[in-house]
A and B are shown apart, each in its own frame.
Chain A
Amino acid sequence: MKAFDYIRPNSLEEAGRYFAQGKSVKILGGGATLFLQLQNGELAPDIVMDVKDIPGFRDVRYHHNHGLKLGAAVNLQHLVTGLEIRRHYPLLNQTAHQLASPQIRNRATIGGTLAWASPVSELAASMLCYDAVCHTWRPEGARAIPIGELYLGDFKTALGPDELITHVHLPSFPVRTFGVYQRQTVRHDGRRMIAGAAALAVRKHNALTNWRIAVLGVDDRPKRMPEAEALLAGAPAEEDIEQALAAVQDNIHPQDVVYARADYRRTVLDSLLRRSIQAIIDNLQDYNA
């Protein structure tokens, strides 16, 4: 790696002062993406700024009315083991459980993973289903970015170069929220992603409301599928599911990659999503039984 200065500010104001120096600064979370870019020379910043000591960045707070706040420096392993996540955000928990490896999850952070705007980001797909809001800070002030507006496609985000994700907020969900995530990768640790399908629905009486579908690996960014969600509302019958799946196919634009052709990614996504939706319906039936 080329020489840089590693710094570790203790406050947002201190971080802001480094941005104001006119040097090139890269923010460091867990380094799972950043180190690759530093090693292969794609990035050569003057300063690598580790944000893990900034107050609040490691906070996890859950409140049954207000929802969940996850600080930017919380690691992904917390999404696997944290009790509040396992209880109230099943889709997030399942997604994290499959994501990468223990080594990566112990290091990778919420902030760094959200800022990594890859078309195959599994955390992003899950956060889209929960309508998460990304909270940021920069010298001019703080702002809140709904997760759907954070990703601009092809690895680009709405974040400015001197903008830090401070935390992410997820609204609260009823206890009977079902979530299922299905993925297909070449490698078990998540490298070479083919496609992924996240589905979420809330049980109300004997039906499923509030359907959310998010897909990844099949477009220039992970995205929600509102057309399909509308078709699933209520207690979807066989033909509703077929229509929803067809609506998804109409709204994706998969790319060929060396390990999977675009048409294959479409076919895989179709199967994964079918399974996710069916699993949620089965959950409801188990619950009613």
Chain B
Amino acid sequence: MKHEIRFIINGESRSLTVLSQQTLLEVLREDLGLTSPKHGCSTGECGACSVLLNGEVVNSCMVLAAEVDGADILTVEGLATDDELHPLQKSFIDHHGVQCGYCASGMLISAKALLNRTSRPHEEEIREALVGNLCRCGAYADIIKSIQVASRARR
């Protein structure tokens, strides 16, 4: 079955035709060319496909595209403004929060969701916010540090 959907993606309104069985992850990557959400497991375990759906972090591999009609979605492509990277992105670069980088988009999105509700999270809160994001390189310590520093810089 086909669905005409309209939603806001990274601040821009888009209309699209999708099939019932297409996931949001597929549509973002294949139809919209937004490749920051990565395909890791399709089972909700790795968080590489994380996006913000109406401000809340979700795994886009576990959302149907047809479900997001009318929603507001943010991917890492929408974090930076014009020519300036988001403080989280800068901090990930400065503090080695990126090794191979496969998990980085998901980590950034989970971090963004956290900072949206807590401006100065302590380490335990950061760890909790990252429970759904796996890093196969094991860069967790630097990822946590990157988020901590970014939150202090931001204010």
Contact = CB atoms under 8 A, between A and B. Distances in A.
Contacts of B113: 102
Given A4-B21, A32-B62, A101-B132, A106 B1 contact: no
B47 interface: yes
Interface string B1-27: 101000000000000000111010000
B74 interface: no
A103 B132 contact: yes
A32 B44 contact: yes
Nearest to B26: A1
A155 interface: no
Contacts of B58: 103, 106-107
A1 B21 contact: yes
A55 B20 CA distance: 23
A3 B57 contact: no
Interface string A1-18: 111111000000000000
A1 B21 CA distance: 6
B67 interface: yes
Among A28, A39, A103, which residue has the most Cβ atoms of chain B within 10 A?
A: A103
Interface residues of A, number: 27
**Which 9 pairs show the lowest CB-CB distances between chains A and B?**
A101-B132, A6-B20, A5-B1, A103-B132, A1-B21, A106-B56, A101-B131, A6-B66, A103-B59
Interface of A: 1-6, 28, 30-32, 35-36, 38-39, 48, 50, 77, 100-104, 106-107, 188-189, 191
Interface of B: 1, 3, 19-21, 23, 42-45, 47, 50, 53, 56-59, 61-64, 66-67, 110, 113, 128-129, 131-133
14 contacts: A5-B1, A6-B21, A6-B67, A30-B62, A39-B42, A50-B64, A102-B110, A102-B129, A102-B132, A103-B58, A103-B62, A104-B44, A189-B45, A191-B45
